[in-house]
């Protein structure tokens, strides 16, 4: 299973194993990681799973997966950055083993 590291806004890191085919949002929710709410359950309709992909991983993860994700990112509660993504749209693959995800201070 790929290991993903979540870094909260205070710098605390939590590394978890996430099954292939899951997404970064569910990985956080299933492991009790605070900072991702996922209010819509991954339905791509709320933007409460906003995250920042670590600079070293931006090229591997890529940008928004759809126009809908790009539009929702415009409404996030915290600073929108070039590395901003909705974590429900980042599917876990073996290529993401070691991925680092930074969490914003708030989702609301």
Give me the CATH number covering residue 41.
3.10.20.30
Whether residue 45 is contained in a domain is answered as yes
CA atoms within 13 A on the CB side of 68: 8
Average pLDDT over residues 36-47: 95
How many domains does the chain contain in total? 1
Mean pLDDT of 17-25: 98
| Burial tier of 57 (Cβ tally within 10 Å: 0-12, 13-18, 19+) | middle
CA–CA separation, 32 vs 77, rounded Å?
21
Can you point out the beta strands (E) in the chain? 3-7, 13-17, 50-53, 84-86, 100-102
Average pLDDT score over residue span 61-86:
97
What mean pLDDT is reported for the chain?
Answer: 97
Confidence label for 73 from pLDDT (cuts 50, 70 and 90): very high
Give the pLDDT confidence score for residue 33 in this predicted structure.
97
Domain that includes residue 58, residue range: 3-102
Confidence of residue 47 (pLDDT cuts 50, 70, 90): very high
The answer as to whether 107 is a domain residue is no
39 located within any domain: yes
Residue 89 CB neighbours (<10 A): 20
């Amino acid at each position: 299973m790929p290991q993903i590291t979540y870094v909260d806004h205070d710098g605390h890191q939590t590394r978890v194993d996430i099954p292939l085919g899951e997404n970064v949002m569910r990985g956080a929710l299933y492991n009790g990681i605070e900072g991702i709410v996922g209010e819509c359950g991954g339905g791509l309709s709320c933007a409460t799973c906003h995250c920042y992909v670590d600079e070293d991983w931006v090229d591997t993860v890529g940008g928004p997966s759809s126009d809908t994700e790009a539009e929702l990112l415009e409404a996030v509660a915290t600073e929108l950055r070039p590395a901003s993504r909705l974590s429900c749209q980042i599917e876990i693959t073996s290529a993401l083993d070691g991925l680092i995800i930074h969490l914003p201070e708030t989702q609301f």
